[in-house]
Amino acid sequence: MLGLPEGTDVLVVTTYAQRHWDVYAKRCIDTFEQFWDAPLAAYTDELLVAESSWLSAFKASHAHRPTDNYRFDAVRFSHKVAAIELAYELADDILIWMDADCVTHAPVTKDWLKSLIGDADFAYLKREGKYPECGFMMFRKGACDRFLSDIVSLYKTDELFRMAEWHDSWAIEEIRKVSDLKCSSLSGDAERTGHPLVNGPLGEKLDHLKGKRKTRGKSLPSDMKVKRAEAYWSR
190-233: pLDDT as tens digits: 999 999 999 999 999 999 999 889 989 999 999 999 999 999 99
pTM for the predicted model, two decimal places:
0.96
At residue 8, the pLDDT reads 76
3-state helix, strand, coil in the chain (%, to 5): 45, 20, 35
Share of the chain above pLDDT 70, in %: 97
Class of domain 10-234: alpha beta
pLDDT (average), residues 167-172:
98
Distance CA 120, CA 143 (A): 9
Please compute the mean of the pLDDT values over residues 86-104 and round it to a whole number.
97
The pLDDT tens digits of the residues spanning 22-62 come to 999 999 999 999 999 999 999 999 999 999 999 999 999 99
Assign residue 142 a region: left if phi > 0, alpha if psi is -120 to 50, beta otherwise? left
Give pLDDT tens digits for 134-144. Answer: 999 999 999 99
Contact present, 169 and 61 (Cβ < 8 Å):
no
User: Could you tell me the residue ranges of all domains in the chain?
Assistant: 10-234
Mean pLDDT value across residues 65-85: 95
- The helix (H) or strand (E) run that includes residue 78 is helix 74-88
CA 24 to each of CA 40, 63, 235: distance values in angstroms, whole numbers, following the listed order: 16, 25, 19
Helices and strands (H, E) in the chain, number of each type: 9, 8
Whether residue 66 has pLDDT greater than 90: no
What 3 state SS string does 111-128 have? HHHHHHHCCCCEEEEEEC
Q: Can you tell me the distance from the alpha carbon of 11 to that of 125, in angstroms, rounded to the nearest whole number?
A: 18
